Amino acid sequence: MDKELYKELNEQIRKELYSAYLYLSMASYFDSINLEGFAHWMKLQAKEEFGHAMKIYDFLNDKGERVILESIEKPISEFSSPIEVFEKTLEHEKKVTKSIENLFKLAKEKKDYATEIMLQWFISEQVEEEKQASIILEKLKKIEDKDYLLFYFDKEMAKRGE
């Protein structure tokens, strides 16, 4: 495997693990303000991001490459509102999308077809990730300052994975 592509795939594993860490931090915030449904949603999101990291990990392993794990920075842990959490979620997902697109471009330049194919799954996944964050953010903005609706929405968020 091309050395630059190998290095960037290892870096993407770190980014995916950071995403899991970030979403777990967001879950902790929601737990602290008794929005268990939102916390549940974020915990599932964290597990999903860990799965993304493992998908790349397994791919590199299947290609005979050793995964080198780098340190993960501390995620943000203080938020002013659920709206801010989902603004940060959408912003973060857009960064991840850009990172995946850059990886795909590099794989294409290096003519690494197996990596291109693997990354196509991530490109499709990022469309869904941004869509979900955007939908939740828009719903939160519509119910802003209506706490009774926030608790109703919290119950809806708890249904993820059912």
DSSP structure class, residue 112: -
Thinking of the domain 3-157, which architecture would CATH place it in? Up-down Bundle (1.20)
- Kindly tell me if the per-residue pLDDT of 95 is higher than 70: yes
pLDDT exceeding 70 applies to what percent of the chain?
94
| Other C-beta atoms lying within 10 Å of the C-beta of residue 4 | 11
Q: Which pLDDT band, with edges at 50, 70 and 90, does 147 fall under?
A: low
With beta carbons less than 8 A apart as the criterion, state whether 126 and 96 touch.
yes
For residue range 1-42, list pLDDT tens digits in order.
Answer: 999 999 999 999 999 999 999 999 999 999 999 999 999 999
Report CA 131 to chain centroid distance, whole Å: 12
Q: Which pLDDT band, with edges at 50, 70 and 90, does 148 fall under?
A: low
Q: Which pLDDT band, with edges at 50, 70 and 90, does 48 fall under?
A: very high
pLDDT exceeding 90 applies to what percent of the chain?
85
Please tell me the distance from the alpha carbon of residue 66 to that of residue 64, in angstroms, as a whole number. Answer: 7
- Kindly tell me if the per-residue pLDDT of 122 is higher than 70: yes
- Kindly tell me if the per-residue pLDDT of 146 is higher than 80: no
With beta carbons less than 8 A apart as the criterion, state whether 7 and 1 touch.
no
With beta carbons less than 8 A apart as the criterion, state whether 4 and 109 touch.
no
| Other C-beta atoms lying within 10 Å of the C-beta of residue 48 | 16
- Kindly tell me if the per-residue pLDDT of 152 is higher than 90: no
- Kindly tell me if the per-residue pLDDT of 104 is higher than 90: yes
DSSP structure class, residue 58: H
Enter the tokens of residue 25.
Answer: 């931090």
pLDDT at 64: 97
The helix-helix angle for 113-142 and 36-62 (nearest 10°) equals: 170
Burial per residue of 118-141, b for 16 or more beta-carbon CB atoms within 10 angstroms, e otherwise: bbeebeebbeebbebbeebbeebe
Beta strands in the chain (DSSP E): none
Report CA 85 to chain centroid distance, whole Å: 13
Domain ranges, ordered by start, for the chain: 3-157
